[in-house]
Chains A and B, each alone.
Chain A
């Protein structure tokens, strides 16, 4: 898919951000026990790995409150008439900016029930950031370029990750306890939720998501290719 190249770069960025947050958390909590990881893989029912799936914790161990996220901002870039990244998971309450790095205007909007907004024709970094405080997925589009699409997934906790091309994910710096872990994919028909008890070395888990086949968007995709 066309989104695979930018997503790889984003994953890297996301990992470093998470690492930094974990260090901060460890300092704040004063080394209260060793933090662990949940690793695993997201696959479709046929066992094929699913890239671009969001894996996040929706239920924390009893008595634990969701830690405040390290970053309360995120960015949905527009580069070469594509949204970058294609899938952007954020914690509820995150302000997402929409910088435009193309030489042309974009008209970013979402009519999703999660978040309805519109950034009329804008260029550069002038557009007002948008705060996503309601859980769920918001489909993002551009009124000028129908083929441009992205999704911002608003999750309840800072424990989330995006699967790589091999469908692999890592949820880091998790105190021991039993978590509810959910997998989400933009083409999902049904998603899987799983309880995971985090101890020292947690066995990798596998989340299966039943997805619709990818479908061609008409007529904009073809049009986009012919422009490029």
Chain B
């Protein structure tokens, strides 16, 4: 027996349900979480798209404004006139003034060769060649204004370069607006996200505080590091960055910039905030699941008990029955299968008890057919008057044989005789009523009635006689005494039923007919006949029997003489 087979019934009912329920809960939890995550990711991704669009629009609008304002300034005749002085002090004032006027952080003025004449903001050397400052180089070549995102003195800026035409270029204006923390914060506030401008090597600006950045923006580690390394491939996929126990869904939006490493706007939103109340879903499902599991176990336990307890009671009762207590019954007021089982058990034990009872009453010498008939039929054990044919068999000269034979040998002889006699009786459907010393008493017609009970009795008697030669052959071979028998049969009404005190009661027949049958058997010695039947019995016999002498004899205890007939063959 394996482990499972050894478990108690309750366990075997509850465990699969518990496992199934937990499985369903986990599946629900998983599917629910996956759906919620996908939904939140989708909505955040849309939010990121909006942010990206707003950001691009913002940059482009800023660029356009910067370009427009600077172009207007470059077209200002006073500026041209001032530029044409090529006087550094004057131009420094001009640069300062125009920086204030345009509201830019950086305003530089160069001559037509890209030599710096004046600088307001930024770090630069007057008189130095700033052609390398993007986008000046391109503007000098193309002759048209241009705006790029670039790095100036470690800061990220949108820088415009515009030629000053008089009417050929007499110089260039460079104006720069920073993309700084303010920009990131404004954009973040407008779109409900966190924005950082960064390359693989540097965070230029962020809506995060300086303290937060180190932890939240690991440039060279984790998913962010991987995505930064992938560079151009980034921006397509969102990824999670874990920062201080918060999961930030992130996306990198590439920004076209004139700097050494690819520049990105890192747009982030708290995944957990976006989940909102849905974030508690796993806990809720778990809690509900746990309660459901406990309830299921409780209810299952009750149901399992409802099945297991009566089964246990049945098992216990069965144990008692096995122990021989056939009085045990199981009381279950239930209409279900268990109730049926209990009723069937009770019926079975009743049947067993009855069988035992019948065995008690009839002893062991009831043929199978008779026993079946007795058990299946409504046997009236209470007592009834009915016609019965009674057969008595006796061993002739048994007293003499007994005196000459050792007791143990005698018993073997008798037992071999009884085996044949019983077989002959049962062959005809008779019932052995009792063994009387060296003979048997058999009944035909009680407790089971047949139409031809007298004939059956006579055939049984003929059967006994027929079995004798082979029995004697065997006895002779074994050096035992040979036997002769006498049989008396009579048919008459008797009272059949339970005879004797309760514990010792047996099925039996009472009546004058029994005595008469015994007397007729006794006559066989006197008449030297083997089989004698009364006239009453003979009158029931059909053709086919060979009769011998027919005599009327007085019987002891009988006022009238009795007519008996010798049966020779059948």
When distances are taken between beta carbons in the complex, the residues of chain A under 8 Å from B75 are: 146
Interface centre among A118, A142, A218 (most CB of B within 10 A): A218
Q: Give the Cβ gap from B82 to chain A, nearest Cβ, in Å.
A: 10
Please encode chain A, from 86 to 128, with 1 for each CB lying within 8 Å of some chain B CB and 0 for all others.
0000000000000000000001011100001010000000000
| Given A146-B75, A215-B143, A218-B145, also A111-B83 (CB < 8 A) | yes
When C-beta atoms are compared, the residue in chain B nearest to A118 turns out to be B81
Once the chains are docked, how many angstroms separate the CA of A218 from the CA of B143?
A: 8
Q: Give the Cβ gap from A133 to chain B, nearest Cβ, in Å.
A: 19
| Given A111-B80, A111-B84, A116-B84, also A146-B145 (CB < 8 A) | no
Is there a chain A Cβ closer than 8 Å to B144's Cβ? yes
Once the chains are docked, how many angstroms separate the CA of A107 from the CA of B77?
A: 10
B84–A146 contact, CB under 8 A? no
Once the chains are docked, how many angstroms separate the CA of A172 from the CA of B71?
A: 47
Once the chains are docked, how many angstroms separate the CA of A217 from the CA of B169?
A: 10
Once the chains are docked, how many angstroms separate the CA of A141 from the CA of B84?
A: 13
Is there a chain A Cβ closer than 8 Å to B303's Cβ? no
Once the chains are docked, how many angstroms separate the CA of A147 from the CA of B80?
A: 15
B160-168, B181-189, B389-397: which lies at the interface: B160-168
Please encode chain B, from 407 to 443, with 1 for each CB lying within 8 Å of some chain A CB and 0 for all others.
0000000000000000000000000000000000000
Is there a chain B Cβ closer than 8 Å to A51's Cβ? no
Once the chains are docked, how many angstroms separate the CA of A50 from the CA of B56?
A: 46
User: Number of B interface residues, CB 8 Å?
Assistant: 16
When distances are taken between beta carbons in the complex, the residues of chain A under 8 Å from B167 are: 139-142, 146-149, 217
Selected from B81, B84, B165, the residue in CB contact (under 8 A) with A217 is: B165
B170–A111 contact, CB under 8 A? yes
When distances are taken between beta carbons in the complex, the residues of chain B under 8 Å from A157 are: none
Q: Give the Cβ gap from A111 to chain B, nearest Cβ, in Å.
A: 3
Is there a chain B Cβ closer than 8 Å to A143's Cβ? yes
When distances are taken between beta carbons in the complex, the residues of chain A under 8 Å from B170 are: 111
Once the chains are docked, how many angstroms separate the CA of A77 from the CA of B144?
A: 28
Instruction: For chain A, residues 130 to 189, give those with C-beta under 8 angstroms from any C-beta of chain B.
Output: 139-143, 146-149
Once the chains are docked, how many angstroms separate the CA of A100 from the CA of B165?
A: 22
B143–A141 contact, CB under 8 A? no
When C-beta atoms are compared, the residue in chain A nearest to B144 turns out to be A218
B166–A216 contact, CB under 8 A? no
Known: A149-B168, A218-B144. 17 other contacts (CB 8 A): A109-B80, A109-B166, A110-B166, A111-B81, A111-B84, A116-B84, A142-B167, A143-B80, A146-B75, A146-B165, A146-B167, A148-B167, A149-B167, A215-B142, A216-B143, A217-B165, A217-B167
Name B's A-contacting residues (CB within 8 A).
71, 75, 77, 80-81, 83-84, 142-145, 165-168, 170
Name A's B-contacting residues (CB within 8 A).
107, 109-111, 116, 118, 139-143, 146-149, 215-220
Nearest 7 Cβ contacts at the A-B interface: A111-B84, A141-B167, A149-B167, A111-B166, A215-B143, A143-B77, A139-B168
